[in-house]
Amino acid sequence: MSDLHVEEHEEVVLTEDRPEEGLSEGDRGVVVMVHRAGEGGYTGPDGYTVEFPPPPNGSRGVRPIVSLPPEQVRPADTPAQRVSA
Protein backbone atom coordinates (compact mmCIF):
# COMPACT_ATOMS: atom_id res chain seq x y z
CA MET A 1 0.00 0.00 0.00
CA SER A 2 1.29 3.47 -0.88
CA ASP A 3 1.84 6.21 1.65
CA LEU A 4 -1.00 8.65 0.94
CA HIS A 5 -0.39 12.11 2.44
CA VAL A 6 -3.26 14.04 0.87
CA GLU A 7 -6.84 14.02 2.10
CA GLU A 8 -10.17 14.90 0.49
CA HIS A 9 -10.74 18.60 -0.26
CA GLU A 10 -7.00 19.38 -0.27
CA GLU A 11 -5.45 21.25 -3.18
CA VAL A 12 -2.80 19.31 -5.12
CA VAL A 13 -0.39 19.98 -7.97
CA LEU A 14 0.06 17.62 -10.91
CA THR A 15 3.66 16.37 -11.11
CA GLU A 16 3.64 15.30 -14.77
CA ASP A 17 1.80 16.00 -18.01
CA ARG A 18 -1.47 14.16 -18.71
CA PRO A 19 -2.10 15.10 -22.37
CA GLU A 20 -5.00 12.64 -22.71
CA GLU A 21 -6.93 14.79 -20.21
CA GLY A 22 -5.54 18.12 -21.42
CA LEU A 23 -3.57 18.60 -18.18
CA SER A 24 0.01 19.78 -17.73
CA GLU A 25 2.60 19.44 -14.98
CA GLY A 26 1.94 22.17 -12.42
CA ASP A 27 -1.84 22.27 -12.92
CA ARG A 28 -3.72 22.54 -9.63
CA GLY A 29 -6.80 20.59 -8.64
CA VAL A 30 -8.76 19.48 -5.58
CA VAL A 31 -8.92 15.91 -4.27
CA VAL A 32 -12.54 14.75 -4.29
CA MET A 33 -11.83 11.14 -3.25
CA VAL A 34 -8.94 9.20 -1.71
CA HIS A 35 -8.62 5.53 -2.71
CA ARG A 36 -6.88 3.28 -0.17
CA ALA A 37 -6.56 -0.41 -0.98
CA GLY A 38 -8.19 -2.54 1.69
CA GLU A 39 -10.42 0.20 3.13
CA GLY A 40 -14.17 -0.15 2.89
CA GLY A 41 -13.89 -3.15 0.59
CA TYR A 42 -11.91 -1.19 -2.03
CA THR A 43 -9.56 -3.57 -3.87
CA GLY A 44 -8.05 -1.26 -6.51
CA PRO A 45 -4.76 0.61 -6.38
CA ASP A 46 -4.09 3.50 -4.00
CA GLY A 47 -4.64 6.91 -5.50
CA TYR A 48 -6.83 9.97 -5.80
CA THR A 49 -9.73 11.31 -7.81
CA VAL A 50 -8.88 14.95 -8.53
CA GLU A 51 -11.08 17.69 -10.01
CA PHE A 52 -9.26 20.32 -12.06
CA PRO A 53 -10.62 23.73 -13.07
CA PRO A 54 -11.67 24.11 -16.70
CA PRO A 55 -9.06 25.43 -19.12
CA PRO A 56 -9.35 29.17 -19.87
CA ASN A 57 -10.71 28.41 -23.35
CA GLY A 58 -12.46 25.19 -22.32
CA SER A 59 -15.83 24.27 -23.71
CA ARG A 60 -18.77 25.10 -21.42
CA GLY A 61 -16.67 25.13 -18.27
CA VAL A 62 -16.03 21.38 -18.25
CA ARG A 63 -13.91 20.43 -15.24
CA PRO A 64 -11.73 17.37 -15.82
CA ILE A 65 -12.09 14.77 -13.07
CA VAL A 66 -9.19 12.34 -13.19
CA SER A 67 -8.07 9.30 -11.20
CA LEU A 68 -4.36 9.58 -10.43
CA PRO A 69 -1.73 7.44 -8.70
CA PRO A 70 -0.05 9.01 -5.65
CA GLU A 71 3.20 9.72 -7.49
CA GLN A 72 1.43 12.03 -9.97
CA VAL A 73 0.30 14.59 -7.37
CA ARG A 74 1.81 16.48 -4.47
CA PRO A 75 0.20 18.77 -1.90
CA ALA A 76 -0.07 22.33 -3.24
CA ASP A 77 1.80 23.69 -0.23
CA THR A 78 4.82 21.41 -0.87
CA PRO A 79 7.59 22.83 -3.06
CA ALA A 80 8.48 20.90 -6.20
CA GLN A 81 11.58 18.75 -5.95
CA ARG A 82 14.10 18.96 -8.76
CA VAL A 83 16.18 15.98 -9.80
CA SER A 84 19.81 16.79 -10.56
CA ALA A 85 21.40 15.19 -13.62
Q: Is 20 helix (H, G, I), strand (E, B) or coil?
A: helix
CA angle 34, 37, 38 (to 5 degrees): 120
Tens digits of residue pLDDT in 46-61: 999 999 988 776 556 6
pLDDT at 59: 59
> For residue range 66-82, what is the model confidence (pLDDT) as tens digits?
999 999 999 998 766 65
Q: With 60 as the cut, is the pLDDT of residue 11 above it?
A: yes
Q: Is the pLDDT of residue 83 over 60?
A: no
Rounded to whole angstroms, the Cα distance separating 64 from 30 reads 11
